[in-house]
Amino acid sequence: MREGAEAKGRRYLVEGRLLVELVDARTIRARCRGNGRVYRLGYDAERWYCDCQALGLCSHLVALQLVTVEAKA
Ligand SMILES: [Zn+2]
């Protein structure tokens, strides 16, 4: 069975592949190692982003969203 984004994101966390570089009130910046390369991802201008090719919520963002939350003013 193919491993879904949710399970993969949790595994990335357990394996220490996610590096959160910056968190402040409006910005989150991180790197995640997966499939032999490092992806850049985060939250900026009120949206989540990741430079991988996945459509929708990718495993990298799943990992990041498990350890950070969007501030609700
Ligand atoms: Zn991604």
Ligand 1 centre to CA of 42 (Å) is 10
The predicted-structure confidence for 35-68, as pLDDT tens digits, reads as follows: 899 999 999 999 999 999 998 899 999 999 999 9
Assess contact for 32 and 18: CB atoms under 8 A. Answer: yes
- Tokens matching residue 53: 């090719």
Give the CA dihedral 14, 12, 3, 28, nearest 10 degrees: 130
**Is residue 72 a part of any domain in this protein?**
no
**Is residue 73 a part of any domain in this protein?**
no
**Is residue 31 a part of any domain in this protein?**
yes
Ligand 1 centre to CA of 34 (Å) is 9
Range of the domain at 17: 5-67
Read off the pTM: 0.89
CA separation for the pair 32, 50 (Å, rounded): 10
**Is residue 55 a part of any domain in this protein?**
yes
**Is residue 46 a part of any domain in this protein?**
yes
Ligand 1 centre to CA of 59 (Å) is 6
Q: For the chain, what is the domain count?
A: 1
The position carrying tokens 């201008």 is 45
Write down the pLDDT at residue 1. 65
**Is residue 28 a part of any domain in this protein?**
yes
**Is residue 57 a part of any domain in this protein?**
yes
